[in-house]
Structure 1
Amino acid sequence: MTPDQPKGESRIDPITAAVIQGALDNIAIEMGHKLMRMSYSSIIRESEDFGTALTDAEGSQLCECRMSTPLQSGPIPGYIRHLLKTMKERGDVIRPGDVIMHNDPYGGASHGPDVAFCVPVFHDDELVGFSATTAHHLDIGALSPGSCGIVDAVDTYAEGLQFKAVKVYDQGRRVDPVWYILEANLRAPHLVVGDMEAQIKAARIGADRYLELIGTWGLDKLRAAHADLMDYSERLMRDAIRALPDGDYGAVGHIDGYLDDPDPARKDMPLAVTLRIRGDSMVVDLTGTAPQIPDKPVNMPFEGTVDCAVWLTLRSILLDSVICGNIPQNEGLTRPITIVAPKGCLANPEFPAPVIARFCPGNQLADTLMKALAQVVPTKVSAGIGNLRIASFSGFKDGRHWVHMEILEGSYGGRAGLDGMDAVDTLYANTRNNPIEDIEMHLPLRVNRYELREGAVPAGRWRGGIGSVREFAFLNDGGFSIEGDGHKYRPWGYDGGHDGRTASITLVSDNQVAKDLVSKVSYLKARPGDRLICLGPCGGGYGNPLERDPEAVLHDVREGYFGPDTALGDYGVVVNETGVDLAATRAERLSRQ
């Protein structure tokens, strides 16, 4: 708001502002579609693990692609702010035609494999914004193949190549030495470099579209629309917080850490959240979270991971788009929220502590925040989520490396009025699954099984989501590593709902010897015929199972989720050959009161 502008007076009429915002959103969506279609790797093309956005000249977000993952689009303003800071410190000048690469995990990036390519936008010789794309890359030159499953890095230097505001195009001219370094240090440059070039092209398309929009509306109107929409988003969030009862609400969750490590400080690590609600603002205090691990990469960058996990959870629960409709996604939503995380804890590590495996801890932090919110808005949260895991498969065939990243789905807990969602990415990780056909067409892997778990449904008035079963078989020599969690701590049930089910991973060798693995697996070699069996976690149940609709229980039995014995034992529902025996069910449930 300008100093001479009366409080509450709009800079622009709301209809024009909405039209401009819609046009900006369409630019980000077009960037996303173009990036997907041009990408080489399935992690971008199929899983949609990317982000696209436009920002103003200072890094304030104008729009983002809605189909991208929050953990990719959300950090883009931080990328831009640190890019600007880094270039200013070294006296580097941003010019038209530049393309700048950035992946500093202590400089806005979520972690090193999420590389941003930023195209500055100039109008009448003035820097007016950036068009940026981010994407997860299959290999970033780390100590073991793949960019996930790196669970033993001793510091950030062991996590792969770091690019701190590096120009890959300088005034339109390709900076060849940078590309030579990339091609020489990546295990799968035919995939990774191709994906990077797709990012650049998509970012340039966004820059062109943004200039076209400026030509249509004028820069002043675009800036006015952005400022008003930020204020609008802020008002919505403040109204939502004001509707909550003042008070302090706490919750504690845990991550497995390194369950096979003899050092107790490396496992069973708490994540603590205290919400302090006062009027129309909120403090999310993470004091009590475990100290950082100086030489294991499960630490979470405060900017790029922790802040995104907090903001996404609060926005999703307090301003549910199903209820509130379309809400402009910008920093106005974060103005009423302050995040406190002591320096040196898992949620605010100090350089050079490694952070590449921050994915599962960050998702568990979001789940713990939701557990605290359950005390304030119980009908808006789900019970505990089943966390995700990432498997990195790799090998060397026909003279070059192949690398594949597979996100193993989790599941949601039950919600008021709805069962938990089965076999799906949760919270800030809304990537899609890879089709079996795509995997088997491009890789020396076979998917023997892809199905829902049977007999593992967490009971509740609204049951927990069911995890998946994934079985991969190696057809050639190769290897794998796993970045995961949730093998020890069960997702929490709510209001009488049962706790969820933990995940598991089993390696079956070609001679049929089975070995159970922990949730974090350093690189292991595999031979043809070896099979990796991954059971996904099941989310917690919501509400008393004895209050579940008997017809819903019958549906679960007929779908094969569980049998009549479980229907009776967990739900007090008597199922026979013809359906539900209502009289016997009423008697059974009355006997348990």
Structure 2
Amino acid sequence: MTDATFEIRMQVMWNRLISVVEEQAMTLLRTAFSTSVREAGDLSAGVFDPAGRMLAQAVTGTPGHVNTMAEAVLHFITEIGRDNMFPGDTYVTNDPWKGTGHLHDITMVSPSFRGDVLVGFFACTAHVVDVGGRGFGADGKSVYEEGIQIPIMKFAERGRVNADLIRILRANVREANQVVGDFYSLAACNDVGHRRLIAMMDEIGLADLDALGDFIFSRTRAATQDRIAALPKGRWANDLLTDGYDSPVRLACAVEIAEVSVNVDFTGTDGISPRGINVPIIYTKAYASYALKCVVAPDIPNNWASLEAFTITSPENILNAPRPAPVAVRHVIGHLVPDLVLGALAKALPGQVLAEGAAALWNIHMSVRPVAGQAGRRAEILMFNSGGMGARPGLDGLSATAFPSGVMTMAVEATEHTGPIVVWRKELRPGSGGDGEYRGGLGQMIEIEPLPGHEFDFSAMFDRVNHPARGRDGGHDGAPGAAMLDDGTRLKPKGWQHVPAGRRLILHLPGGGGFGDSSRRSGAARAIDIARGYVTGEPE
């Protein structure tokens, strides 16, 4: 076989592998019970070689799931053991330190056998609506309060589902049918990937994935190292303040660019919080690596070889919180890690990095119930909402867009279908994007009311309320967020709170920071802003 023929053959098989993991992810999207999965795409899916190195990921999925999954598979291999793996097996965990950072994410890994030969693994993750305990919120003081913990174990052995695990799940969660249904959806996701991979190998005549893996990794590694080699060399630091739980939390990092690698160190970050906003290092690594990749190699496939170039170090602190720290809403601080890292990269690459944005999702978990003495319906509802992205060099920021998580907005109709609430308003928030040569993306205004005869408690998981997104290179800050009732009562940005019958919850989501001196914004761009209602008056 000539070199050219080999290259073509490998490229065709690489494309086939991508189609395999895409179908794997689509299976989860189509069969999931939770709206966070089927509507918002809060999931990941990928295929790994027998050593547990990620070969390819599905396009659908969040960096927090994909990049933690890339490390999690190695934990599964170590704990299950190769001698205890059989065709038809599926393994599961929600261990925050060996999975994706908190208990609400379920990770499943399945070995893929061709005959009796292990040729790889499939893995997937998804956020389930409930894991028991306090519920999805920041109020817990240890991981033991936050829900049921599932150590790495077998969900199924040789195709036989662990019935005892299912019984334990049903006894510990509020929405048993949804949660158990999602477990089966995750298992089906991996099974579809396995069947498509074996069909591909049989069709092409592949005995294993070794040659394809070498092709993928060697080219990815070389391309990533070339990009790093072209960067300025040195060390750049950055810090930012977040709202925290009861008091602000300082995040700090230093980015050091070497010849063929980049390290991010989080020394100087504030210590472990007594509340559930702590971040296991596996999740911090995921989003720090994502930030680096966005700047260094955005068009290079995300796999073991590209992630290998990025190393993360940190002492114990809120971004490297050990067990049993509470971590339920680790995404709030974790989603601010890219803004932190990008701020350091902006000093290395002036004029080339976007401004800060809303970053953390404004997730709302609502526990809805009938008012005492009235008939009605109970429901656990999870709703994802996004503020504005920071402005980019040469482009305005995207409005109501989930960066860095990448999850989709849930349709209002789908959210209302899951429980007795009405979403009266969900629209862009005028004037929330920071002014600049390029304007920051807009946040949203959202109003939610329980149906007559109902009330709800909700878990606030908000940030950028007291510390808005900062502009870059002279751009203005984005507008801060706010949470309140329709009678004017101000609510806390974090923690479980109450919305009584007849009242509406009102959310003003934060906007992204502007980029560049506002005096350089074109008249045409300002006219469009006014015509579309993006601004409320003359710039400051």
Taking structure 1 as the reference length, the TM-score comes to: 0.86
Residue 412 in structure 1 maps to residue 389 in structure 2 = yes
Residue 78 in structure 1 maps to residue 71 in structure 2 = yes
Contact kept? 1:79, 1:102, Cα under 8 Å: no
Aligned to 1:393: 366
Residue 329 in structure 1 maps to residue 302 in structure 2 = yes
Going from structure 1 to structure 2, the CA distance change for 1:471 and 1:106 (only over 3 Å counts) comes to same
Percent of matched pairs sharing the same residue: 30
Residue 550 in structure 1 maps to residue 523 in structure 2 = yes
Contact kept? 2:368, 2:419, Cα under 8 Å: no
- Out of 450, 466, 478, which is 1:488 matched to? 466
- Give the whole-Å Cα distance in 2 for the aligned partners of 1:336 and 1:457: 34
- Give the whole-Å Cα distance in 2 for the aligned partners of 1:284 and 1:361: 16
- Out of 227, 239, 259, which is 1:240 matched to? 227
Cα shift at 1:168: 2.0
Contact kept? 2:465, 2:480, Cα under 8 Å: yes
Cα shift at 1:216: 2.9
1:441-520 to 2 correspondence within 5 Å? 441-475=417-451, 476-508=454-486, 512=487, 514-520=488-494
Q: Can you list the C-alpha shifts for 1:308-337, whole angstroms capped at 9, x where unaligned?
A: 10111111122233xxxxx32211112222
- Give the whole-Å Cα distance in 1 for the aligned partners of 2:21 and 2:350: 34
Cα shift at 1:219: 4.5
Contact kept? 2:55, 2:304, Cα under 8 Å: no
Aligned to 2:416: 440
Cα shift at 1:172: 1.5
Aligned to 1:122: 113
1:502-541 to 2 correspondence within 5 Å? 502-508=480-486, 512=487, 514-522=488-496, 524-541=497-514
Contact kept? 1:11, 1:228, Cα under 8 Å: no
Aligned to 2:354: 382
- Give the whole-Å Cα distance in 2 for the aligned partners of 1:199 and 1:218: 29
Cα shift at 1:280: 2.5
Going from structure 1 to structure 2, the CA distance change for 1:63 and 1:141 (only over 3 Å counts) comes to same
Cα shift at 1:401: 4.4
> Across the two proteins, how many residue pairs are aligned to each other?
532
Cα shift at 1:215: 1.8
Runs of at least 5 residues in structure 1 that lack an aligned partner in the other structure: 1-8, 260-266, 322-326, 571-593
Going from structure 1 to structure 2, the CA distance change for 1:92 and 1:215 (only over 3 Å counts) comes to closer
Cα shift at 1:441: 2.9
- Give the whole-Å Cα distance in 2 for the aligned partners of 1:282 and 1:11: 33
Going from structure 1 to structure 2, the CA distance change for 1:220 and 1:312 (only over 3 Å counts) comes to farther
- Give the whole-Å Cα distance in 2 for the aligned partners of 1:112 and 1:228: 36
Contact kept? 2:102, 2:327, Cα under 8 Å: yes
Residue 371 in structure 1 maps to residue 364 in structure 2 = no
Cα shift at 1:14: 2.5
Contact kept? 1:487, 1:504, Cα under 8 Å: yes
- Give the whole-Å Cα distance in 2 for the aligned partners of 1:55 and 1:180: 31
1:83-482 to 2 correspondence within 5 Å? 83-88=76-81, 93-144=84-135, 148=136, 150-219=137-206, 222-259=209-246, 267-293=247-273, 295-303=274-282, 305-321=283-299, 327-342=300-315, 344-387=316-359, 388-396=361-369, 401-427=378-404, 429-475=405-451, 476-482=454-460
Q: Can you list the C-alpha shifts for 1:419-449, whole angstroms capped at 9, x where unaligned?
A: 010111011x111111112222332111111
Cα shift at 1:10: 8.3
Larger radius of gyration: 1
Residue 15 in structure 1 maps to residue 8 in structure 2 = yes
Cα shift at 1:400: 7.2
- Give the whole-Å Cα distance in 1 for the aligned partners of 2:5 and 2:349: 35
- Out of 1, 20, 27, which is 1:27 matched to? 20
- Give the whole-Å Cα distance in 2 for the aligned partners of 1:163 and 1:14: 43
**2:150 partner letter:** F
- Give the whole-Å Cα distance in 1 for the aligned partners of 2:456 and 2:380: 10
Going from structure 1 to structure 2, the CA distance change for 1:345 and 1:219 (only over 3 Å counts) comes to farther
Q: Can you list the C-alpha shifts for 1:334-386, whole angstroms capped at 9, x where unaligned?
A: 222221111x2112112111212110111111111011111122343210111
Contact kept? 1:187, 1:401, Cα under 8 Å: no
Contact kept? 2:225, 2:260, Cα under 8 Å: yes
Cα shift at 1:96: 1.4
Going from structure 1 to structure 2, the CA distance change for 1:168 and 1:412 (only over 3 Å counts) comes to same
Cα shift at 1:391: 0.7
Going from structure 1 to structure 2, the CA distance change for 1:11 and 1:189 (only over 3 Å counts) comes to farther
**1:367 partner letter:** D
Q: Can you list the C-alpha shifts for 1:48-70, whole angstroms capped at 9, x where unaligned?
A: 11111111222211211102222
Contact kept? 1:17, 1:226, Cα under 8 Å: no
Aligned to 1:589: none
Aligned to 1:576: none
- Give the whole-Å Cα distance in 2 for the aligned partners of 1:360 and 1:546: 34
**2:261 partner letter:** S
- Give the whole-Å Cα distance in 2 for the aligned partners of 1:114 and 1:549: 45
- Where 2:198 maps in the other structure, the secondary structure is helix
Contact kept? 1:253, 1:365, Cα under 8 Å: no
Contact kept? 2:123, 2:190, Cα under 8 Å: yes
- Give the whole-Å Cα distance in 1 for the aligned partners of 2:20 and 2:378: 35
- Give the whole-Å Cα distance in 1 for the aligned partners of 2:134 and 2:357: 31
Going from structure 1 to structure 2, the CA distance change for 1:108 and 1:58 (only over 3 Å counts) comes to farther
Cα shift at 1:455: 3.0
Going from structure 1 to structure 2, the CA distance change for 1:137 and 1:552 (only over 3 Å counts) comes to same
- Where 2:302 maps in the other structure, the secondary structure is coil
**1:274 partner letter:** A
Contact kept? 2:64, 2:100, Cα under 8 Å: no
Going from structure 1 to structure 2, the CA distance change for 1:450 and 1:285 (only over 3 Å counts) comes to same
**2:490 partner letter:** D
- Where 2:295 maps in the other structure, the secondary structure is helix
- Where 2:270 maps in the other structure, the secondary structure is coil
**1:227 partner letter:** D
**1:25 partner letter:** I
Going from structure 1 to structure 2, the CA distance change for 1:174 and 1:338 (only over 3 Å counts) comes to closer
- Give the whole-Å Cα distance in 2 for the aligned partners of 1:18 and 1:534: 48
Cα shift at 1:291: 1.3
- Give the whole-Å Cα distance in 1 for the aligned partners of 2:533 and 2:182: 41
Contact kept? 2:245, 2:277, Cα under 8 Å: no
RMSD, matched Cα: 2.0
- Give the whole-Å Cα distance in 2 for the aligned partners of 1:121 and 1:439: 36
**1:268 partner letter:** P
- Where 1:459 maps in the other structure, the secondary structure is coil
Contact kept? 2:456, 2:500, Cα under 8 Å: yes
Going from structure 1 to structure 2, the CA distance change for 1:497 and 1:160 (only over 3 Å counts) comes to same
